[in-house]
């Protein structure tokens, strides 16, 4: 017969399991990626709409009163897409570089600012020339929003990547929290144990294992490292080199 205590114990075990998975770095990374996709879609939608708004203004500026349907009037429609395509290409590339925290050079930033400045000038020049404050404000809003969004979205992607790194480092450095023991049914314990993820063994862990079993009469070779630590063949060479360097450094200090 299931008692209230048994049900409470199962609920407590389930809650602990959910809490542990919510703080797992893989779950956090998945959530950050979902937020990153939402941020990208919203920013791209705002940027594309803002650039689309500027197209008509730039065409009117470039046509300079040409007759509708004439060749100058038609070619004026090409000016804004020329600038916008270059800007979109730069922003698309920064979407990838910011994801992996690779900083771009000065020319990339200069090209982005130049295209944004050109869009702003072509949108507001007529209003400035006519002395219309309302026109300046109206035609300044879309280019300014595009400029701010283009700068902000890069920083946002970079910080979202930092959030994943912080989650991983926090999980690796987190110490075990001792909680009061709760008597739970055997089935609940079994499910929790099966679902518990196994911590990945790092290079430093293998090196510590090799260092612990090494003695002066042992020749440090990749084969010995594999036998002592159970590491892979590809990792054994690096471990052997690192341990040999430590041993050589210790001998020099002793001398």
Say what the pLDDT of residue 171 is: 64
Residues of the chain with pLDDT under 70: 1-2, 168, 170-200, 251-255
Terminal C-alpha separation, the chain: 73
Say what the pLDDT of residue 172 is: 63
User: Is the Cβ–Cβ distance between 227 and 195 less than 8 Å?
Assistant: no
Say what the pLDDT of residue 109 is: 86
Say what the pLDDT of residue 222 is: 84
User: Whole-angstrom Cα distance, residue 209 to residue 207?
Assistant: 5
User: Whole-angstrom Cα distance, residue 236 to residue 46?
Assistant: 51
Say what the pLDDT of residue 192 is: 44
Say what the pLDDT of residue 114 is: 92
CB neighbour list of residue 18: distance below 8 Å, 6 or more residues apart: none
Say what the pLDDT of residue 176 is: 42
User: Whole-angstrom Cα distance, residue 155 to residue 171?
Assistant: 24
29: left (phi over 0), alpha (psi -120 to 50) or beta: alpha
User: Is the Cβ–Cβ distance between 92 and 135 less than 8 Å?
Assistant: no
Say what the pLDDT of residue 178 is: 41
Say what the pLDDT of residue 72 is: 86
pTM over 0.75: no
CB neighbour list of residue 94: distance below 8 Å, 6 or more residues apart: 104, 108, 112, 154, 157
User: Whole-angstrom Cα distance, residue 56 to residue 60?
Assistant: 6
């Amino acid at each position: 017969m299931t008692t209230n205590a048994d049900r409470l114990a199962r609920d407590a075990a389930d809650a602990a399991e959910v809490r542990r998975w919510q703080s797992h770095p893989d779950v956090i990374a998945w959530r950050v990626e979902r937020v990153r996709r939402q941020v990208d879609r919203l920013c791209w939608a705002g940027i594309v709409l803002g650039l689309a708004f500027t197209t008509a203004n730039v065409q009117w500026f470039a046509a300079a009163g040409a007759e509708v349907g004439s060749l100058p009037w038609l070619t004026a429609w090409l000016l804004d897409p020329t600038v916008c395509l270059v800007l979109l290409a730069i922003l698309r590339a920064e979407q990838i570089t910011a994801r992996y925290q690779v900083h771009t050079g000065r020319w990339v930033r200069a090209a982005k600012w130049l295209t944004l400045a050109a869009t702003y000038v072509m949108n507001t020049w007529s209003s400035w020339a006519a002395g219309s404050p309302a026109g300046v404000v109206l035609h300044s809003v879309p280019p300014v929003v595009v400029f701010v969004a283009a700068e902000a979205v890069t920083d946002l992607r970079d910080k979202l990547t930092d959030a994943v790194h912080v989650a991983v480092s926090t999980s690796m450095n987190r110490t075990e929290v001792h909680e009061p023991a709760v008597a739970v049914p055997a089935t609940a314990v079994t499910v929790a144990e099966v679902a518990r993820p196994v911590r990945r063994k790092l290079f430093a862990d293998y090196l510590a294992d090799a260092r612990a079993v090494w003695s002066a009469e042992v020749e440090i070779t990749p084969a010995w490292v594999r036998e002592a630590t159970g590491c892979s063949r590809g990792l054994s060479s690096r471990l052997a080199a690192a341990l040999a360097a430590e041993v050589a450094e210790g001998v020099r200090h002793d001398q």
